[in-house]
Amino acid sequence: MGKKPSITVGGLQFNWDLDKGKFQFEGQDSVLFWTSTAMKMFFDSVEEISGEEAAGVVLETTGFRQGLVVGEYFADKKDVDVATAAGLITNTYASAGWGLAEICDLNTEVGTLEVHLSNSWEHKINVAQGKKVGGNFLPAHYAGIFTKLLGRNIWYKVVHHQIEGYNETRIQYFPSEENVERNIHRLARSKEAEQIRQLENLVEEKTAELSELIKEISSPIIPVLEDIVVVPLLGTYDENRAEELLVKTLQNLPTHKAKYLVLDLTGLNNRFTEHAASLIDKLGATASLIGTSTILVGISPQMSMVIAESGINLSKFNCFQTLQHGIHYALAQNGRSII
């Protein structure tokens, strides 16, 4: 009980209060983690849940905003200029195990500098993760620090990462309109575009499946009696569907040895157009070339008006009001009837 060890390293104070389970760094509550195990697990979990691209934006945003806090702390010290603050920060981070940082070519008027990092905790985690490219937490973190110290928005460009085989990570900093908010919005738009592409692909797949299903079930050829087949016309016929109907019907008429083709137009009552009238005329004329007579049934008064206005002559076909009448007529032509 009463154990409160303390140590000063590089002018910075570390304190432990074992009775309360507290660790303090420069008088502030802090925690310690194993880099290549506990912190690696944290990074791995973030990437697993949110995806590597989103995790990169999360870590970049967190690093930058933490840097703003640090930069504001030193910017508030009126007796400390930017160059002095830079030196204090690197010394503090080295003591805290953040790795060795060197601030180079600092130009406070222009707002440019370079940061060289070696053996940082982020580099160690990336090595443990087996990464080929370094992370962006620390590069963004120093951008946040100098955004506050220099009083303007500072962004970064990684020249190379230590994990790529160099002795250090080298990062260039400069004034820019780029910031974490833009990157967040860019990621959101990217995710939205990806979701839209996935939905479009799904729609295309389902549309193709539906088209195939429609081809299979629309306008079926029904052999109702010997020599007689019925084809009910349903819905709206565009160019592709009309062509499918023509080909399918003409291919199957010889199979059923059909002498009479009964086209049931009942399903076209609300969708009968001049295009439909032209389709019926073409289908009947083509069927006659292979010896099949066409009978039209289910013509409503509204259809009659459209047919008359279209100028297409369908009177060459025998027309009846109901399917039953049409079938009775076809049977009668062969001297048969339904009893």
Contact by Cβ (8 Å): 219, 267? no
- Residue of 82, 109, 96 lying closest to 24 (CA atoms): 96
Q: Which segments of the chain belong to CATH 3.30.1380.20?
A: 33-178
pLDDT number for residue 202: 80
Q: Measure the CA–CA gap between 90 and 76, rounded to whole angstroms.
A: 18
Tell me which residues of the chain have a pLDDT lower than 50: none
Class for the domain spanning 219-333: alpha beta
Q: Which residues is 114 bridged to in the sheet?
A: 104, 172
Q: Measure the CA–CA gap between 29 and 96, rounded to whole angstroms.
A: 13
pLDDT number for residue 218: 61
33-178, what's its fold? Muramoyl-pentapeptide Carboxypeptidase; domain 2 (3.30.1380)
**Count of CB atoms situated within 10 Å of the CB of 212:** 10
Query: Considering just the CA atoms, what is the radius of gyration of the chain in Å?
Result: 40
SS3 40: helix
Quick: pLDDT tens for 212-244.
666 655 667 888 888 899 998 887 777 878 888
SS3 301: helix
How many residues does this entry show for the chain?
A: 339
pLDDT number for residue 193: 66
Q: Which segments of the chain belong to CATH 3.30.750.24?
A: 219-333
pLDDT number for residue 215: 62
**Count of CB atoms situated within 10 Å of the CB of 258:** 25
Q: Measure the CA–CA gap between 150 and 113, rounded to whole angstroms.
A: 11
Q: Measure the CA–CA gap between 127 and 133, rounded to whole angstroms.
A: 9
**Count of CB atoms situated within 10 Å of the CB of 277:** 22
pLDDT number for residue 1: 53
pLDDT number for residue 314: 84
